[in-house]
Amino acid sequence: MFSKHSIRKDFLIQIVISTLALIFTFSLILYFFIEKSIYDEKHAQLLKYAQNISNHQSLFKEDENFSENFFSLTVEIVYLKDENVSISEYEKTVGLHTYLTLIYPFDLKENAYLRITQDISSTKHLLHIILKYIFFINIAGFLLVVLYAITLSNMLIRPIKHLSAKLSNMNEHLLKPIDTTTLPKEFEPLGEILNHLIARIQNFVKYQKELFIGTAHELKTPLAVIKLKNQVTLIKKRSPQEYIEALNNTNKSVDEMNIIVSNILNIGRQEGAQLEKPVQVDVISILKQKANDFKLLASHEGKELKMSFEPNAFMAMLQVSLLNQIVQNFLQNALKFTPKDKTVILRSSQDDYGLLIEVIDEGCGIDDSVDLFAPFVRQGNRQGVGLGLFLAQSAADALGAKIKIRNREDGIDGTVASLQLNSKLSCIIPRYK
């Protein structure tokens, strides 16, 4: 029924032990309270009888149960040698009967004391019956608590079983998001995290397939070119200069293959970076440093890089290498596609989601129908392998951020590359004037 380590088993054991201790403690307190109340009443009765006798009043004055008490009561006068005896009471059992005896001063000059003895066997029997009923009630209550604990544990683990059933029926071909609206409020964050993980797995499986296909295609083309050029070269004898030119072309194709292999290795490095421990950093400070690095590059290419950062500081827990990779890719693409004497803008602002980072260029724009985040997808006539945005998308998924590429809508040709950092893991440092 239970595994070696079961939350449900631990819950049942804890609630059963705590309930058993509570019932046992409450029952003892209840029984001792009832017993003390009855004995206090008996003591008060005997004391009242003794006072009535000492005051020469009726023995059963104002006693509604005088007939019953009369047959169970014995009154004697005893003489004690000890002159300091005060009111005392003791209980004695003889055979099947239990007697309660009260010693009360009657005539201190003669050392005479009243010894009033009452048979309380029926009272003791009543207490035994009460104790037996409390015991049976405890057993019934304990069984009800166990049933309640089992029912409650089933109810509490039902959402977990629902999630487990959903996840156990999934594979890489049947990944579906979990409907968080059917989960209790306490399990909604878990459902959202699982959905985020499922989305990442879907993207990973999708892009890994495209990556393998694209890698094979990208490597096959230069290999075919190399082989064809070598075959043509071997058909007839050529001059040394022609051989040198053929070898240079071959080396050029090998260099292109090396670039592809290097970018594929970057994917492995990025997956390792995703496992790095997040640290608390000032995102605005990182953006300023990155902007200063690319400002020199832009000036060297005859372009201008403008900066605008709001708020003045934004602390976040993240992997710095992943953030650097995304921003660097945005700036590299922006400078690559922006013509000379044009402007690239790097800016940040606060929105409802968190921190919005944007890189705006004046390039040729993008084709909205093309998935630019797929591996080996190129835009325009610029050189490149086509893995930059694929790596940026993977890094954004690891950061729990949103990434987007769109055309500008202000009447100027160009694109807007945006990254939105979630404010749940961030905090804004207020500006002091």
- As for how many domains the chain has, the answer is 3
Quote the CA–CA distance of 166 and 179 in Å, as a whole number: 10
Q: Can you give the pLDDT at residue 432?
A: 42
- What single letter denotes the amino acid at residue 194? L
Report which secondary-structure segment, H or E, holds 144.
helix 121-168
Please work out, in degrees rounded to the nearest 5, the angle formed at the alpha carbon of residue 306 by the alpha carbons of 301 and 311.
150
Q: CATH number, domain at 367?
A: 3.30.565.10
The C-alpha angle 124, 125, 129, rounded to 5 degrees, equals 115
**Residues 6+ positions from 387 with CB-CB distance below 8 Å:** 263, 264, 266, 267, 375, 376
Question: Are 286 and 220 found together in one domain?
Answer: no
Predicted local confidence at residue 59, as pLDDT: 52
Strands (E), 85-168: 88-94, 97-107, 112-119
Whether residues 250 and 302 fall in one domain: no
Mapped onto helix, strand or coil, the DSSP state of residue 311 is: coil
Residues 25 and 137 in one domain: yes
Domain edge (last residue) among 124, 144, 164: 144
pTM of the predicted structure, to 2 decimals: 0.49
143, with CB counted inside 10 A (0-12, 13-18, 19+), is exposed
Same domain membership, residue 349 and residue 255:
no
**CA-CA-CA-CA torsion sign (159, 161, 165, 168):** positive
Residue 301, both tokens: 């290419």
171 lies in a domain? no
Domain containing 123 equals 7-144
Q: What is the pLDDT of residue 430?
A: 45
| 104, 127, 144 - which closes a domain | 144
| Single-letter amino acid code for the residue at 248 | N
pLDDT of 1 reads: 47
Query: Nearest 5 degrees, angle CA 34-CA 38-CA 41?
Result: 140
Q: Are residues 299 and 391 in the same domain?
A: yes
Residue 284 placed within a domain: yes
If asked whether residues 248 and 290 sit together in one domain, one would say no
Residue 160: inside a domain? no
**DSSP string for 66-97:** HHHHHHTEEEEEEE-S-TT---EEEEEEETTE
Nearest to 329 by CA among 259, 260, 400, 266: 266
Cα first-last separation, the chain? 65
Residue 99 domain-assigned (yes or no): yes
**From CA 84, how far away is CA 89, in angstroms rounded?**
15
- Residue 369: its pLDDT value, please? 74
The answer to whether 278 and 319 are in contact (CB under 8 A) is: yes
Give yes or no: residues 43 and 107 share one domain: yes
27 closest CA partner among 120, 139, 122:
139
* Contact present, 417 and 310 (Cβ < 8 Å): no
**pLDDT tens for the 433 residues of the chain, in order:** 445 566 777 777 888 888 888 888 888 899 899 988 988 888 888 888 888 877 765 555 545 554 455 567 788 888 877 666 677 888 888 888 888 888 888 777 777 888 888 888 888 888 899 989 988 888 888 888 888 888 877 777 777 777 777 666 666 566 677 777 777 776 777 777 777 777 777 777 776 666 666 666 666 667 776 777 777 777 767 777 777 777 777 777 777 677 667 666 666 555 555 556 778 888 889 898 888 888 888 888 888 888 888 888 888 888 888 888 888 888 888 888 888 888 899 999 888 778 899 999 988 888 777 777 766 666 655 555 566 777 788 788 778 888 888 888 888 888 998 998 876 554 444 444 4
Q: Do residues 216 and 261 share a domain?
A: yes
- On whether residue 291 sits in a domain, the answer given is yes
Same domain, 233 and 295: no
* 164, part of any domain: no
Same domain for 338 and 320: yes
Q: Is residue 421 part of a domain?
A: yes
